[in-house]
Structure 1
Amino acid sequence: MKLCSTAGTGYTYVTRKNRRNSPDRLALSKYDPVVRRHVEFKEAR
Protein backbone atom coordinates (compact mmCIF):
# COMPACT_ATOMS: atom_id res chain seq x y z
CA MET A 1 0.00 0.00 0.00
CA LYS A 2 1.29 3.46 -0.89
CA LEU A 3 0.82 6.64 1.12
CA CYS A 4 1.03 9.65 -1.23
CA SER A 5 1.79 13.19 -0.10
CA THR A 6 -1.01 15.76 -0.33
CA ALA A 7 1.60 18.49 -0.89
CA GLY A 8 1.82 17.42 -4.53
CA THR A 9 5.51 16.50 -4.40
CA GLY A 10 5.06 12.90 -5.51
CA TYR A 11 6.81 11.57 -2.40
CA THR A 12 5.40 8.26 -1.11
CA TYR A 13 5.74 5.92 1.85
CA VAL A 14 5.18 2.18 1.46
CA THR A 15 3.44 0.41 4.33
CA ARG A 16 1.08 -2.43 5.21
CA LYS A 17 -2.22 -2.41 7.01
CA ASN A 18 -4.75 -4.90 8.31
CA ARG A 19 -7.74 -4.49 6.00
CA ARG A 20 -10.06 -6.20 8.48
CA ASN A 21 -9.38 -3.65 11.23
CA SER A 22 -9.27 -0.56 8.98
CA PRO A 23 -11.23 -1.07 5.74
CA ASP A 24 -11.42 2.67 4.98
CA ARG A 25 -8.58 4.64 3.44
CA LEU A 26 -5.70 5.55 5.70
CA ALA A 27 -4.55 9.17 6.24
CA LEU A 28 -1.47 9.90 8.36
CA SER A 29 0.59 13.00 9.08
CA LYS A 30 4.16 12.16 8.09
CA TYR A 31 7.35 13.97 7.11
CA ASP A 32 7.80 15.02 3.47
CA PRO A 33 11.51 15.72 2.84
CA VAL A 34 10.79 17.57 -0.42
CA VAL A 35 8.93 20.41 1.36
CA ARG A 36 10.78 19.69 4.64
CA ARG A 37 7.72 19.60 6.88
CA HIS A 38 4.96 17.27 8.06
CA VAL A 39 2.01 16.97 5.70
CA GLU A 40 -0.93 14.58 5.40
CA PHE A 41 -0.30 11.40 3.43
CA LYS A 42 -3.34 9.60 2.02
CA GLU A 43 -3.67 6.02 0.87
CA ALA A 44 -3.54 5.49 -2.89
CA ARG A 45 -5.05 2.34 -4.37
Structure 2
Amino acid sequence: MARSSARPVVTLRSTAGTGVTYVTRKNRLSDPDRLVLRKYDRVAGEHVPFREER
Protein backbone atom coordinates (compact mmCIF):
# COMPACT_ATOMS: atom_id res chain seq x y z
CA MET A 1 0.00 0.00 0.00
CA ALA A 2 1.41 3.36 -1.05
CA ARG A 3 2.00 6.16 1.46
CA SER A 4 -0.14 9.22 0.91
CA SER A 5 1.62 12.46 0.02
CA ALA A 6 -1.01 14.32 2.07
CA ARG A 7 0.54 12.96 5.33
CA PRO A 8 4.34 13.23 4.99
CA VAL A 9 6.84 12.29 7.69
CA VAL A 10 8.30 15.42 9.34
CA THR A 11 11.17 15.91 11.77
CA LEU A 12 10.63 18.13 14.81
CA ARG A 13 13.74 19.74 16.34
CA SER A 14 13.90 21.23 19.83
CA THR A 15 13.98 25.02 20.06
CA ALA A 16 16.10 24.72 23.23
CA GLY A 17 19.17 24.05 21.07
CA THR A 18 19.88 20.61 22.54
CA GLY A 19 19.65 18.73 19.22
CA VAL A 20 16.81 16.45 20.36
CA THR A 21 14.42 15.43 17.57
CA TYR A 22 11.04 13.73 17.23
CA VAL A 23 9.62 12.16 14.06
CA THR A 24 5.89 12.39 13.33
CA ARG A 25 3.38 12.73 10.48
CA LYS A 26 1.25 15.72 9.66
CA ASN A 27 -1.71 16.39 7.41
CA ARG A 28 -0.39 18.77 4.76
CA LEU A 29 -3.90 19.69 3.54
CA SER A 30 -5.26 20.89 6.90
CA ASP A 31 -1.95 22.29 8.25
CA PRO A 32 0.26 23.61 5.40
CA ASP A 33 2.43 25.79 7.69
CA ARG A 34 5.33 24.56 9.79
CA LEU A 35 4.23 22.39 12.68
CA VAL A 36 5.08 23.45 16.25
CA LEU A 37 4.37 21.02 19.11
CA ARG A 38 5.21 21.28 22.80
CA LYS A 39 7.09 18.07 23.64
CA TYR A 40 9.43 16.83 26.38
CA ASP A 41 13.13 17.51 25.79
CA ARG A 42 14.98 14.88 27.84
CA VAL A 43 18.30 16.76 27.64
CA ALA A 44 16.83 20.05 28.88
CA GLY A 45 14.58 18.17 31.33
CA GLU A 46 11.45 20.17 30.52
CA HIS A 47 8.72 20.65 27.93
CA VAL A 48 9.76 23.00 25.12
CA PRO A 49 8.37 23.87 21.67
CA PHE A 50 9.58 21.61 18.87
CA ARG A 51 9.49 23.14 15.38
CA GLU A 52 9.25 21.31 12.07
CA GLU A 53 12.46 21.39 10.06
CA ARG A 54 12.56 21.02 6.32
TM-score category, normalised to shorter length: over 0.9
Q: TM-score, with normalisation over the residues of structure 2?
A: 0.81
Question: Which protein shows a greater Rg?
Answer: 2
Please provide the CA RMSD for this pair: 0.4
The structure showing larger relative contact order (alpha-carbon pairs under 8 Å, at least 6 residues apart) is: 1
Partner residue, 2:50: 41
Stretches of structure 2 lacking an aligned partner (at least 5 in a row): 1-9
Partner residue, 2:36: 27
Q: TM-score, with normalisation over the residues of structure 1?
A: 0.96
Stretches of structure 1 lacking an aligned partner (at least 5 in a row): none
- Corresponding pairs, count: 45
